[in-house]
Amino acid sequence: MVHSKVVIIGSGPAAHTAAIYLSRAELKPVMYEGMLANGTAAGGQLTTTTDIENFPGFPKGIGGSELMDDMRKQSERFGTEIITETISRVDLSQRPFRLWKEWADGENEEPAHTADAVIIATGANARRLDLPGETQYWQNGISACAVCDGAVPIFRNKPLYVIGGGDSAAEEAMFLTKYGSHVVVLVRKDKLRASKAMAKRLLANPKVTVRFNTVATQVLGEEGPRGLMTHLKVKNVVSGEEETVDANGLFYAVGHDPATALFKGQIDLDSEEYIVTQPGTSYTSIPGVFAAGDVQDKRYRQAITSAGSGCVAALEAEKFLSEEESSEENPAAATETGQTRIEPAAAEQNAEAAKEKPTGSAAAEYRQNPLL
């Protein structure tokens, strides 16, 4: 069993950004990047796509896998230890936190790792529908992210379809009106699930048609491995009537599944099983456990927002660990349980104490940041 100050679970932009910050702060983070965890390769969701055009710093775009390979190299460059295994069991009820690896997680097995702090960045997966033709035209017309893919030329001035009746479907449909000739939203029931305000805007948009009680049944298109989708078969579930419509884009907005099964019952999750974090922070319901990326964000779900929240988690974990160190030397600052509470007043006191005490080692530059 190995002990580390901080372990990161996950390997997307949130995990790697956290790793870069923590390793530069000389905390020697360990990252469990997963071995096809949740069916996705190490590197996360971006490994399943082609060009990323909205990640700053790449004016010509960059391949999703290439971006993640580079992030991995950057994490390693500063000393992150990356382990290609999936964490399949955790015990967050006591400190140090305990983590078990897949295939070695039985009741009587020793944990593979213990840690003073854990950053959860296990991400989420966009739900798919398993329609006939879906595999063939995935990323060749079908996408699960309009904000990511909507601007590509194949969708310009073409009829586009969105499936779903929630806020995401409404937002994505309205976003797509900038590019498509017309956008049709297929809603399987007779009503939208989206908030009233969003639904009103959607229904009022002249470039959008909402078809209620309607589902897609098949995606059709050009032959060959690079063939694009051109048509969609849709069915009215009330009348049973089927038709084939022109469609050059199909955007799924039928929800995401955050990768939180591992933490259920141990940490606060919301009704859709996303990890609950204190707004504007990475703090979870457990001091010392931080969450970043899509696993705690059902609204924005972008590489850059995930990376940003990974940075926040690293800074907060670093602060948590340094406050804990200070309180070990000054027990009056410790709580009854021996854990450092995450409270602004105590945080400020400890930051002051940390400033007065020379650390000797290379103190991270942001430790002096008055915002922290």
Catalytic residue check, 148: yes
Count Cβ atoms below 10 Å from residue 285 Cβ, excluding itself. 15
Contact between 122 and ligand FAD per CB under 6 A = yes
Cβ proximity to ligand FAD, 26 vs 105, nearer residue: 105
62 phi, psi to nearest 5 deg: -150, 145
Contact between 260 and ligand FAD per CB under 6 A = no
Q: How far is the CB of 162 from ligand FAD (least distance, A)?
A: 16
- Residue from 10, 133, 165, 288 binding ligand NDP (CB under 6 A): 165
Catalytic residue check, 91: no
The H or E element that residue 169 is part of is helix 167-176
Give Dmax over CA atoms of the chain in angstroms: 76
Say whether the peptide bond before residue 370 is cis (omega within 30 degrees of 0): no
First vs last Cα of the chain: how many Å apart?
33
d(CA 134, CA 140): 10
Catalytic residue check, 105: no
Contact between 235 and ligand NDP per CB under 6 A = no
Label the pairing between strands 229-236 and 113-120: unpaired
Contact between 304 and ligand FAD per CB under 6 A = yes
Contact between 211 and ligand NDP per CB under 6 A = no
Burial 248-279 (b: 16+ CB within 10 A, else e): bbbbbbbebebbbebbeebbebeeebbbebee
Sheet order of strands, 249-252 included = 142-143, 249-252, 159-163, 182-186, 208-211
Answer for the pair 288, 117: CB distance below 8 angstroms, yes or no: yes
Cβ proximity to ligand NDP, 44 vs 165, nearer residue: 165
Site for ligand FAD in 8-37 (CB under 6 A): 9-15, 32-34, 37
- Residue from 193, 231, 235, 341 binding ligand NDP (CB under 6 A): 193
Catalytic residue among 148, 167, 294, 297: 148
Binding partner of residue 188 among ligand FAD, ligand NDP, none, CB cut-off 5 to 8 Å per kind: ligand NDP
Instruction: Find the part of the chain contacting ligand NDP (CB under 6 A) among 83-91, 144-152, 163-171, 351-359.
Output: 163-171
Catalytic residue among 149, 167, 294, 297: 149
Q: Residue numbers of the site for ligand FAD (CB under 6 A)?
A: 9-15, 32-34, 37-38, 40, 42, 44-46, 48-49, 52, 54-55, 86-87, 121-124, 126, 144-145, 148, 259, 262, 293-295, 301-304, 306
List of residues contacting ligand NDP (CB under 6 A): 129, 163-169, 171, 188-189, 193, 215, 253-255, 298-299
